[in-house]
Amino acid sequence: MSVRLRAAGILITLIVASRAEAIPAFARKYGMSCTACHVAWPVLNPQGLSFRDNGYQLGLMKDDPSSAPAAYVPFSARTVPTYQFTRTTNQPGAWGSTETRTGGIGAPAVDVLAAGTFAPDLSYLVVLAGFTPDEAGSVESAWARIANIGGGGWVNLRVGKFEPEQPVSERRGILRTAGHAVYSARFDGSQVGFDLASNHVGLELDGHDARSETHYSIALLHANGGHGSRGPWSQPVVHAHATRAFEIDSAALPWLRIGALGTIGWWPTRFTTSDGTTIVEGTGRDFRKYSRVGAEVSGIFGHASTPFFWTAVAMHGQEQGSAPDVDPGLATRKSSFDGGFLEVNWVPVSAVAYNATPWVLFARYDVVRYDSGPGDFDGLSAGLRRHMALGPRASLAVHAEVHADRTRGTGFQPAGGEVQVQTALLGFDVCF
Residue-wise pLDDT for 199-238, tens only, equals: 999 999 999 887 778 889 999 999 887 777 777 788 899 9
Residues near 126 by Cβ (< 8 Å), separated by ≥ 6?
113, 114, 115, 139, 141, 142
Q: Are 421 and 381 in contact (CB under 8 A)?
A: no
Give bridge partners of residue 123 from the DSSP assignment. Answer: 117, 145
Region 401-418: mean pLDDT is: 88
Q: Give kind and range of the element (H or E) at residue 202.
A: strand 200-208
pLDDT digit string, tens, across residues 348-371: 887 666 555 678 899 999 999 999
Give the confidence band of 137 by pLDDT, cuts at 50, 70, 90: confident
- Segment 133-156 mean pLDDT: 90
Q: Using CA atoms in the order 193, 344, 141, 400, what is the torsion angle rounded to 10 degrees?
A: -100
Of residues 423 and 354, more confidently modeled: 423
Least Cα distance to 198 among 234, 166, 233, 236 occurs for: 166
Query: Per-residue confidence at 41, pLDDT binned at 50, 70, 90?
Result: low
Per-residue pLDDT reduced to its tens digit, 236-277: 999 999 999 888 888 889 888 899 999 999 988 888 888 778
Distance CA 173, CA 22 (A): 11
* Residue 285 clears pLDDT 70, i.e. is over it: yes
- Nearest CA among 305, 380, 307, 377 for reference residue 338: 377
CA atoms lying within 13 Å on the CB side of residue 241: 21
**Helix, strand, coil abundance in the chain, percent, nearest 5:** 10, 50, 40
Cis peptide bond prior to 374, omega within 30° of 0: no
Task: Identify the pLDDT of residue 53.
Answer: 72
Give residue 259's pLDDT.
95
Task: Map residue 188 onto helix, strand or coil.
Answer: coil
In this structure, the chain runs to a length of 432
> What whole-number distance in Å separates Cα of residue 395 and Cα of residue 426?
17
Please, which pLDDT band fits residue 325 given cuts at 50, 70 and 90? Answer: very low
Local structure of 41: helix, strand or coil: coil
3-state secondary structure of 105: strand
Is 86 a residue whose pLDDT tops 90? yes
Is the distance from CB of 364 to CB of 339 less than 8 angstroms?
A: no
Residue 40 banded pLDDT, cuts 50, 70, 90: low
Residue 269: what pLDDT?
83
Largest Cα–Cα separation, the chain: 71
Mean pLDDT for the stretch of residues 115-123:
86
Position 81 scores a pLDDT of 94
Q: Which of 115, 90, 109 lies closest to 100 in space, CA to CA? A: 90
Contact 266, 220 (CB under 8 A): no
Task: Please say whether the beta carbons of 381 and 367 come within 8 A.
Answer: no
Query: Which amino acid is located at 55 in the chain?
Result: G
Predicted local confidence at residue 230, as pLDDT: 74
Going by pLDDT thresholds of 50, 70 and 90, the confidence category of residue 9 is very low
Q: In sequence order, what are the beta bridge partners of 296?
A: 259, 313
Given a cut of 50, whether residue 76 has pLDDT beyond it is: yes
| Lowest-pLDDT range of 48-62, 64-78, 111-125, 318-332 | 318-332
pLDDT of residue 10: 36
What pLDDT score does 49 carry?
64
Q: What residues does each domain of the chain span?
A: 3-77+107-353
pLDDT for res 35: 63
Of 257, 264, 262, residue with least CA distance to 243: 257
Mean pLDDT over all residues of the chain?
83
In the predicted model, is pLDDT for residue 5 greater than 70? Answer: no
* Mean pLDDT across 400-415: 89
Q: How far apart are CA 196 and CA 368, in angstroms?
A: 15
List C-alpha distances in Å: 32 to 10, 37, 115, 124, 319.
20, 9, 17, 21, 49
Are 44 and 35 in contact, with CB atoms under 8 Å apart? no
Q: Give the pLDDT confidence of 167-197 residue by residue, as tens digits.
A: 988 877 789 999 999 999 988 888 888 999 9
What DSSP line would sit under 285-307, residue for residue? EEEEEEEEEEEEEEEEES-TTS-
Residues 6+ apart with CB under 8 A from 83: 103, 104, 105, 425, 426, 427
Mean pLDDT score, 95-101: 87
pLDDT at 13: 37
Cis peptide preceding 307, ω within 30 of 0: no
